[in-house]
């Protein structure tokens, strides 16, 4: 079989069936973790850690995982990440490079080009990469025609579709054929004077295609197709949806949406009810508590397990770490140190600082953090949390444990990592004295892309506290957060 080495920006694993093995070289990450995450759903985009391993001293690593379906997974290494598709019983040999030296370090993490050291021509990654190259060529040669000569654009697009259909006619992979179909569907969404209307697109692409929760091309198209669904409903249907929300009744909302032709599929209708209500959560149109009640009801009683997961994750996304929302509770325990909880900091602002024990850039910020803490220690409690590991750099431990505030080594199994959605390092969260989120992620001591630091937020906190303690200092005009 043909084998070829590929470099891709976001690695793609096409399916995980019974057992999948991922191995290779990662010389930039010796002694550090390689982690594999799956996307639980494409609405909340919640990621779940599947497995991890440590890169050996000779730069090699190997991971095994199980999954019953094709899917895209995310591989992370030292805050860098890429995508890969995995398929049942497949073996992948990769080269995972360090961050491009010309790319700035991003707090949210850097994208990297991960290479396949070998790849079968029947593998989903090979197929998708080849198809994407074909798509890129078509767009490069025809995109300019969409407004200049729409008729020619449509003619060329139809011819391209016919050629694609012929090329993959004998392919037996449902995942790949769906990926191809909905990638092409995205081309149909390019605005041009001869494009299909909404109902034609629904009938041609969505109506007769089974819902595929783990196919990124399918989910991205469908989510975009139904984007801002509720404002686009007829006045009568919109009013019926509103009445159903006021009753906190998913049954009534579903009944109202059933009059919309593009939601004749019950499974899709429920999915889009969840997504549509989450889109309206921060508007003044519907009561937030009623929306949360409906999400909670579907999370517990949906006929479709995948929709239950979507409902739960959307509710978590809307309520956790949202400015003005409640801060998740936590318990900090470490041998030889006093056990602390969020309640123990009641009445004080709290600045949570999550950092990684094996990343040098995390340590570089500590002197700046110490300077800010010294200035605002009477107004804000700092807490530094890092992952407890069997092997941690002694220089890191020396610097961190010397900090003049609470420092805890917490195991990866502690719920605080998930509750506070710690995905990038360093990460900061600012909480007020009523255990309410002020900002998450909050700014750090190092200027961001807009030259902002946490110092400004602390300045207004100081002003607030001083004004409450001494009214003669003048009126307090509110914390500016990270603005």
The full set of domain ranges for the chain reads 7-120, 143-225, 230-319, 331-473
**pLDDT exceeds 60 at position 431:** yes
Burial 11-41 (b: 16+ CB within 10 A, else e): bbbbbbeeebebbbbbebbeebbbbbbbbbb
Domains 7-120 and 331-473 share a fold: no
With cut-offs at 50, 70 and 90, classify the pLDDT of residue 278: very high
Q: What are all long-range contacts of 151-159, with beta carbons under 8 Å and residues at least 24 apart?
A: 151/194, 153/192, 153/194, 154/192, 154/194, 154/195, 157/187, 157/188
pLDDT of residue 479: 52
Q: Which architecture, in CATH terms, is 331-473?
A: 3-Layer(aba) Sandwich (3.40)
* Cα separation of the two ends of the chain: 56
Distances (CA, A) of 317 to 131, 209, 275: 34, 28, 12
**pLDDT exceeds 50 at position 202:** yes
pLDDT of residue 449: 72
Query: Looking up tokens 């002003």, which residue turns up?
Result: 463
Are 332 and 340 spatial neighbours (Cβ–Cβ below 8 Å)? yes
Over the chain, what is the mean pLDDT?
A: 88
| Neighbour tally for 449: CB within 10 Å | 8
Q: What is the pTM for the complete model shown? A: 0.77
Q: Which architecture, in CATH terms, is 7-120?
A: Sandwich (2.60)
Q: How far is CA 285 from the centre of its chain?
A: 26
pLDDT of residue 144: 82
pLDDT of residue 408: 96
**Proportion of the chain above pLDDT 90, given as a percent:** 67
Return the DSSP state at 327. P
pLDDT of residue 62: 97
| Neighbour tally for 200: CB within 10 Å | 11
**pLDDT exceeds 70 at position 436:** yes
Residues 17-46 have pLDDT tens digits of: 378 999 999 999 999 899 999 999 999 999
**pLDDT exceeds 50 at position 333:** yes
Q: Which of 186-195, 268-277, 339-348 has the highest mean pLDDT?
A: 268-277
Distances (CA, A) of 45 to 112, 211, 275, 325: 20, 17, 12, 20
**pLDDT exceeds 50 at position 7:** no
Query: How far, in Å, CA of 407 to CA of 410, rounded?
Result: 10
**pLDDT exceeds 80 at position 365:** yes
With cut-offs at 50, 70 and 90, classify the pLDDT of residue 472: low
With cut-offs at 50, 70 and 90, classify the pLDDT of residue 483: very low
- According to DSSP, the residues that pair with 54 across neighbouring strands are 33
- For residue 308, the number of C-alpha atoms closer than 13 Å in the C-beta half-sphere is 7
With cut-offs at 50, 70 and 90, classify the pLDDT of residue 169: very high
Instruction: Residue count of the chain, please give it.
Output: 483
State mean pLDDT over 339-366: 89
**pLDDT exceeds 80 at position 140:** yes
Residues 377-390 have pLDDT tens digits of: 999 999 999 999 87
State mean pLDDT over 313-328: 86
With cut-offs at 50, 70 and 90, classify the pLDDT of residue 11: very low
| Neighbour tally for 47: CB within 10 Å | 17
Query: Looking up tokens 């090699």, which residue turns up?
Result: 60
pLDDT of residue 149: 84
Q: What is the dihedral of CA 460, 465, 469, 473, to 10 degrees?
A: 0
- For residue 331, the number of C-alpha atoms closer than 13 Å in the C-beta half-sphere is 5
Query: How far, in Å, CA of 322 to CA of 440, rounded?
Result: 7
CA–CA–CA angle 457, 461, 467 (5° rounding): 145
Which residue from 335, 406, 403 is spatially nearest to 369, judged by alpha carbons? 403
Burial 377-396 (b: 16+ CB within 10 A, else e): eebbbbbbbbbeeeeebeeb
Query: How far, in Å, CA of 213 to CA of 42, rounded?
Result: 8
State mean pLDDT over 45-51: 92
State mean pLDDT over 243-255: 97
Residues 61-87 have pLDDT tens digits of: 999 999 889 999 999 998 799 999 999
Are 132 and 140 spatial neighbours (Cβ–Cβ below 8 Å)? no
With cut-offs at 50, 70 and 90, classify the pLDDT of residue 280: very high
State mean pLDDT over 108-115: 84
pLDDT of residue 15: 38
With cut-offs at 50, 70 and 90, classify the pLDDT of residue 16: very low
Lowest-confidence segment of 422-426, 430-434, 447-451 by average pLDDT: 447-451
Which residue from 241, 227, 224 is spatially nearest to 285, judged by alpha carbons? 241
């Amino acid at each position: 079989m043909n084998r070829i080495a590929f470099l891709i920006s976001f690695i793609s694993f096409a399916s995980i069936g019974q057992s999948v093995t991922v191995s290779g070289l990662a010389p930039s990450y010796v002694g550090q973790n390689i982690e594999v995450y799956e996307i639980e759903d494409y609405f909340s985009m919640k990621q779940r850690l599947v497995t991890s391993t440590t890169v050996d001293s000779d730069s090699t690593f190997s991971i095994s995982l199980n999954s019953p379906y094709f899917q895209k997974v995310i591989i992370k290494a030292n805050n860098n990440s890429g995508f890969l598709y995995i398929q049942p019983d497949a073996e992948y040999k990769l080269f995972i490079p360090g961050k491009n030296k010309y790319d700035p370090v991003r707090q949210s993490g850097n994208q990297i080009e991960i290479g396949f050291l070998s790849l079968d021509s029947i593998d989903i990654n090979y197929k998708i990469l080849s198809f994407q190259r074909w798509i890129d060529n078509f767009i490069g040669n025809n995109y300019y025609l969409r407004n200049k000569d729409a008729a020619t654009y449509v003619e060329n697009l139809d011819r391209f579709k016919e050629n694609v259909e012929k090329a993959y006619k004998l392919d037996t992979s449902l995942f790949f054929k769906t990926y191809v179909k909905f990638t092409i569907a995205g081309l149909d969404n390019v605005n041009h004077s001869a494009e299909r209307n909404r109902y034609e697109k629904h009938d041609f692409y969505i109506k007769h295609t089974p819902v595929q929760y783990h196919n990124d091309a399918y989910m991205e198209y469908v989510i975009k197709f139904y984007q801002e669904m509720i404002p686009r409903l007829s006045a009568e249907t919109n009013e019926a949806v509103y009445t159903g929300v006021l009753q906190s009744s998913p049954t009534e909302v579903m009944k109202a949406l059933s009059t919309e032709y593009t939601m004749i599929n019950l499974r899709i209708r429920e999915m889009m009810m969840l997504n549509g209500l989450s889109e309206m959560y921060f508007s003044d149109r519907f009561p937030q508590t009623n929306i949360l009640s409906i999400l909670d009801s579907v999370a517990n009683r949906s006929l479709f397990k995948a929709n239950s997961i979507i409902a739960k994750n959307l509710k978590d996304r809307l309520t956790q770490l949202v400015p003005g929302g409640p801060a998740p509770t936590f318990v900090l325990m470490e041998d030889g140190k006093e056990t602390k909880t969020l309640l123990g900091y009641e009445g004080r602002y709290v600045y949570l600082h999550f950092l990684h024990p094996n990343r040098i850039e995390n340590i570089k910020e500590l002197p700046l953090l110490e300077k800010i803490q010294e200035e605002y220690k009477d107004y804000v409690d700092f807490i530094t949390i890092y992952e407890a590991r069997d092997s941690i750099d002694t220089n890191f431990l020396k610097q961190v444990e010397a900090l003049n505030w609470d420092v805890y080594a917490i195991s990866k199994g502690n719920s605080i990592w998930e509750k506070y959605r710690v995905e990038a390092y360093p990460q900061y969260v600012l909480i007020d004295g009523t255990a309410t989120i002020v900002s998450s992620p909050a700014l750090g001591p190092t200027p961001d892309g807009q030259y902002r630091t946490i110092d400004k937020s602390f300045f207004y906190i100081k002003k607030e506290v001083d004004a409450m303690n001494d009214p003669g200092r003048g009126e307090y005009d509110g914390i500016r957060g990270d603005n």
